Each structure stands twice: as C-alpha cells, then as structure tokens.
Amino acid sequence: MRVYVPKDAAARALGADAVAEALTREAEARGMEITLVRTGSRGMIWLEPLVEVEMDGLRHGWGPADPRDAAAILDGAGPKALGPVEELDWMKRQTRLTFARVGVVDPASLPDYAAHGGLAGLRRALEMTDAQIVAEVRESGLRGRGGAGFPTGLKWETVRTAPGPVKYIVCNADEGDSGTFADRMLMEGDPFCLIEGMAIAGLAVGAEKGFVYIRSEYPDAIAAMESAIAAARAGGMLGVSVLGSGRAFDMEVRVGAGAYVCGEETSLLNSLEGKRGTVRAKPPLPALEGAFGRPTVVNNVISLASVPTILANGAAAYAAQGLGRSRGTIPMQIAGNVARGGLFEAGFGMSLGRIVDDLAGGTASGRPVRAVQVGGPLGAYFGREKFDTPFGYEEFDGQGGLIGHAGIVVFDDSVDMLAQARFAMEFCAVESCGKCTPCRIGAVRGVEVLDRVAAGDPAALPLLADLCETMRDGSLCALGGFTPYPVMSAVTGFPEDFGGAREAAE
Amino acid sequence: MSMSEAPHAAEIGARLREIVAAHARLDGPLLPILHAVQAEWGHVPRSAIAPLADALNLTTAEVHGVVSFYHDFRDAPAGRHLLKVCRAEACQARGGRGIEDSARDRLGIEFGETTPDGAVTLEPVYCLGLCACGPAAMLDGTLHARLDSDRLDALLAECGA
Ligand SMILES: Cc1cc2nc3c(=O)[nH]c(=O)nc-3n(C[C@H](O)[C@H](O)[C@H](O)COP(=O)(O)O)c2cc1C
C-alpha cells in the first residue's frame, strides 16, 4: 500500500513529520506493508498535514491529520477522510499546468518526474533551434511572475542575440514577499521542473551555466534543490551532455542572507557576485550585462517552471488560458486571515471577490473581510469596493494596484490600516539597500510622519502624500518606488483609520 | 558554538583556510564562504575579516561591508537557542503582532537581543513562506505554524526560558 505524506515546509510546520512516523509505527505494529512517499503539498494548506492513501488506483485524502489519526487512516476510515483528493472542489476547479506534479510525485526521484510527463519539454527543445524555442515562449504570452510582468520571450531574445561567449541563467528564488510561497512549494514539490525550465532557457539563449538564488529562510527548498540537482547530474539531465544531446548545461544553488532587496534583480546579481546587495542603475540591462558582467537571463522560479509545460504542450495551449494580455495560468497564493488558504492555479481573470469570498471562504476569524493586500509588501490594499477587479496585470494596474507575485493577504475588520501603512514604511526602512536617498531617508521620514498622523497632526497627511510622490518618482528601484502603494492605498481606501489628523484638519 | 569567547586569529586560521579552499572554484565565493564561517563559529568573527580579505584579494572594508549588509551575518554568537518570529503582513493578519508581544514579554527582551542567561536570542524575520498558516516562527531551524501564545510558551519552555 502506498501512503503519501507531504514534506513541504508548511506541512512540516504543522506536524507532518510526526504524522509520517506515526503511520510507519502503526503499520509495523499491524505487520502491514506500506511504502511511505514524502511529496510536496497539494496546496490545500488548511488541510495540512494531508495524508493520501492509494486505494484501487485512486488517492484518498485525510486531513488535517494528527499522529493519533494513524490507525483510522490505515483502516481507510475515520472522520477526517476526505475521499479522492482529485475530486475535491479546490482541486477540480484548478488548471494545474505549472503545479501539475506538485503534491503528486516524489520530488527526490528523477524517474518519477519522467513518469509524470517531466522532460518532455526539454526533449522537444533539444530538437529545436534557439530562435524557435524563444519564439515558442514568446507566443505563449508568458510574462515574468516575479512581479514586473515583463514578457519572458522578449527578455530571452535580448540575451540570445547579445554577443558573448559566456551567458548565464539566474533563477530568482528570493521570494521575499509576504503572502507568497509558490516558489517555495514548487522547489520543494517539483524541483526537476525548475531544473528543466532552466535547461531549456540555457538552450534558448546559449547559456551553459545557471544559478538558483534561494533565500536563506527556505532551508527545505535549498535542500530539495541541492538533492535534485545532484540527481539530475547523475541521471544525465544536467552536465556536459544534457540527455545525451552533446549540449552542456549545469547549475548550482546560491543561498541569500536575509535581505529582502536582494530579490530585486540587479541587487541579486551583486549578491551573487559576493558583493553588498545594492541596486544597480539600469542601463545596462542584466540581459546585456548581468552576472559577472555577462548577458544574463534573470527569471522568477514560476516563470522558468512554466516553460516545460509550454514546450511540451505548445504555446497555444498555454496562451488559451487567461484574460487580455495576461496569458496562461497564475498560481495564486491565498494567505493571511482566510478560512481556506493555500495555492490555487488557474487562468488569469478570476475576480478578487471570488477568490476571497468563494475560494478562501472568507476569514478564519469569522469576522468580515476588510482589506486585501495583493502583490506583497509593495502591493496596494484593496477594500470590498474593488472586489470586481479581475486577476490580471493591466486590470490590477487600472485599479491602482499590482498583482506582483500573486500573493493575496486577507485581513478582517480588526485591522488598523494606519498601523499597516506605518509597517510598510518601517519595512522599507529596514530593507532599503541605502543606495538612493528617496528610499533610504524617505522611509524613515515616512514612519515619523505616520506617527504624527496617529497623534492627530493635521499637517501630516499632505506631507505624507508629498513624501510618497518623491519616493515613487525618485527611487532607484521598486522598493522605495512602490512602498507608496500600500501606504497611499490605505490612506485613500480607508480614510476613517487616519481620522485623527483628518478631523483636526477640518 | 555557544557563548564562548570570540576566537583569535591563530585559532581560526587553519580552519578558515580550509573553508576558503573548499570554495575556491566558485565564481563570486564570498557569500558561500561567509555562510560556512557562520556555520562553523556561530557568527563571523572580527578576526576572520582580514584573512578573508587577504585570501580573496579584497580590502577589509569590502569584506566588512558585505558582512554588515546582510541581516543573516552576526558579529557575535547568538544565544543557545535562536527564535525568529515572522513580523510580515500575512502573519500580522492572523494575530502575529500578538505573538511578537508575547515573545518579547515572555523573554523580557526586544528583537535583536539575547536573554541575560544566554538561553534565547529573539530576531524578526520577514516571511517564512508559511503565509496560509500563520502566525509562524522558526526555532533553531525548525518551523512552527499556527502559533498561539500557549504554543509559543511551550516552545520557549523547551528552551529553558
Ligand atoms: C524590492 C524588490 C524585490 C523583489 N523580489 C523579487 C523576488 O523575491 N522574486 C522575484 O522573482 N522577483 C523579485 N523582484 C522582481 C525582480 O527585480 C525581477 O523583475 C524578476 O526577478 C524578473 O523575473 P521575471 O521576469 O521572471 O519575473 C523584486 C523587485 C524588487 C524591486
């Protein structure tokens, strides 16, 4: 009998290791033969640890499991039985292209990866020219999932045509945005998919070396990537002759050191080179002068991990999903105060209200939803009046927000929006790389000005608006440049929380 | 390493040379080396800066500049236990600020400090990627989710705090 227990960091933080041990012990006590496989997470975090048992070829779920549930699970019964996992509403309503294998396969096994459709994209890419691969990615409409939404094919074309004997693929796995965990889940649950995407990128632009820059806060993802890279080398997926093609590609993991700004691509490159993680002025574009001064593709984990399915099933199949200029699927991360939190991959276009009220089931606290921050600490706060906004790059931009890395953090009505605005400034001050003044000084002043707002100073709000304008227009990167999003969206969308100063002004 | 004296240059010299040699083939080896140094001594000893600069053909100012830029690298050892409490938005939405306060109150220290008996160092962390099951914290490398103040108390009791 095959039993699956997630090894995903969230599942482990909720006790999955103890559940796995209990299942092994219970099986031994019964003299029952089980094969216990540690997988990634299906993304239904509210049900973690979610144990699955294969029965008649179908995987049945139990969750959230406790070590005391081991006997019931092995009996195939009990109050936590969920039935076939693929039949659960949350699973059935998704279009899992990038996350197709996450939670399903053994992330440490290359044969398992290949048996579940892995390597098909890479095999096809090996039969194409570099220009054909880039064209395919371009036609898929894939845009960067790291936040800026830049067309991936266009970036690759710039690197492909850049002169130079040495080029690099750098995967941005710094995932510092609160409310996001898709990169982590992908690396822990299907690391070969990222490796495959990077190898295809290497073929497309003529790079033979890749780096995955992973934040140090993700020890499990680091371990999963390290072991998958070793297995990929041993299995001939990486190395001097990728899948026996005679084409070389290899890669290594680099570990960050706790700086949020190192997710910004030029800062990441400095960090990779062993320097302070300060932001570089652009131009030169990293595509032309990136890692170690060489032409470099810098892409987010999800951008790169979406490439294998695009190559395997064709650009058209991917582009058929989505809305407007947001093509394909987006793994939305539903987080914060929600009844059902987790990862949900679907074509772009679902309204924010449907995501929050329907998918997430409202708040965990049972109180009304008051604010939703989309796109991480640099994303705007939306109130219910914006719940009609469809999930797409242009659509969110049109409402004064951004989708960023697709993290959706829900707050109930106990939230103090002035405190949230203050936190945004405080975070910017803590994480500023210090290179430009609007960000370094502006964020510190921002905290002070918000304290004056809290104290009821009528002059403080106009000053705050002014300061935000300076930060937005004058910062070198989006850390200082976008911090005004959460701050000003809180002020304009939730003026009642800034009332002390407002009343005094009237 | 526990709260012992900072090691002297002579003591760390040999091991430091091994660490540098182990990373010799990497491009841009400084961060991997600093992680290895911190894993060895629990912090980046001041006495390691000059030999590192020497070995990597950098100035001591450059090496010091890198060490001081990153939140992860510490210039003194942490307490016997290291508690990192997530302070980011998704945890805030689920009562994270209350957990921050409990941790401070219970330990009688602020973020960035170590209890006088050297048992626990308390640090902030901005996201552990456990945003659908907060509030979250990491104790000595192990993750904990859906924390409440009782569970935090139990964790701290295990640390002897
Ligand atoms: C302060 C800051 C932090 C960022 N953090 C990340 C991050 O953690 N991961 C990421 O992929 N992109 C991050 N970005 C965006 C990157 O600069 C860049 O746009 C991205 O890596 C490009 O890859 P993509 O085109 O695949 O999205 C950040 C940007 C800024 C300004």
* Under 8 Å between Cβ of A142 and A151: yes
- A321-412, CATH topology level: Ubiquitin-like (UB roll) (3.10.20)
- Mean per-residue pLDDT for A66-92? 97
Residue B1: its pLDDT value, please?
A: 40
Percent above pLDDT 70 for chain A:
99
Q: Residues B85-142: pLDDT tens digits?
A: 999 999 999 999 999 999 999 999 999 999 999 999 999 999 999 999 999 999 999 9
- A2-92, CATH topology level: Glutaredoxin (3.40.30)
Q: How many CB atoms lie within 10 A of CB A248?
A: 15
Residues of B in contact with A12 (CB under 8 A): 143
Count Cβ–Cβ pairs < 8 Å, chain A vs chain B.
150
- CB of A261 closer than 6 angstroms to any ligand 1 atom: yes
- Mean per-residue pLDDT for A35-52? 98
Residue A403 pLDDT exceeds 80: yes
Tokens 């012992």, residue?
Answer: B4
Residue B5 pLDDT exceeds 60: no
Put simply, the answer to whether A257 touches B92 (Cβ < 8 Å) is no
- Between CA B91 and CA B134 the distance in angstroms is 5
- Between CA A228 and CA A187 the distance in angstroms is 9
Put simply, the answer to whether A277 touches B34 (Cβ < 8 Å) is no
Tokens 């016997």, residue?
Answer: B80
- Mean per-residue pLDDT for A456-469? 96
A369 phi/psi in degrees, rounded to 5: -70, 135
Amino acid identity for residue B89 in this structure: E
Percent above pLDDT 90 for chain A:
98
Residue B10 pLDDT exceeds 90: no
Amino acid identity for residue A271 in this structure: S
Mark the binding-site residues of B for [2Fe-2S] cluster, compressed into ranges. 86, 91, 127, 131
- Mean per-residue pLDDT for B31-55? 96
- CB of A497 closer than 6 angstroms to any ligand 1 atom: no
- Mean per-residue pLDDT for A484-499? 96
Residue A408 pLDDT exceeds 80: yes
Residue A285: its pLDDT value, please?
A: 96
- Mean per-residue pLDDT for A8-15? 98
- Between CA A401 and CA A110 the distance in angstroms is 40
Q: Give me the residue from A13, A179, A216 closest to B89, CB to CB.
A: A179
- Mean per-residue pLDDT for A35-56? 97
Residue A11: its pLDDT value, please?
A: 98
- Mean per-residue pLDDT for A410-438? 97
Q: Residues A433-445: pLDDT tens digits?
A: 999 999 999 999 9
Q: Residues A311-335: pLDDT tens digits?
A: 999 999 999 999 999 999 999 999 9
Of A404, A164, A181, A210, residue with least CA distance to A307: A210
User: Is the CB of residue A177 less than 8 Å away from at least one CB of chain B?
Assistant: yes
- Mean per-residue pLDDT for A221-248? 98
What's the pTM? 0.97
Structure ipTM: 0.95
Label residue B42 by pLDDT band (50, 70, 90). very high
Spatial CB neighbours of A49, under 8 Å, sequence gap ≥ 6: A5, A6, A11, A14, A15, A16, A19, A63, A64, A65
Residue B2: its pLDDT value, please?
A: 43
Residue A502: its pLDDT value, please?
A: 55
- A417-505, CATH topology level: de novo design (two linked rop proteins) (1.20.1440)
- Which CATH class, in words, describes the domain spanning A110-318? alpha beta
Angle between helices B30-41 and B60-69 (to 10 degrees): 70
Domain-wise residue ranges, chain A: 2-92, 110-318, 321-412, 417-505
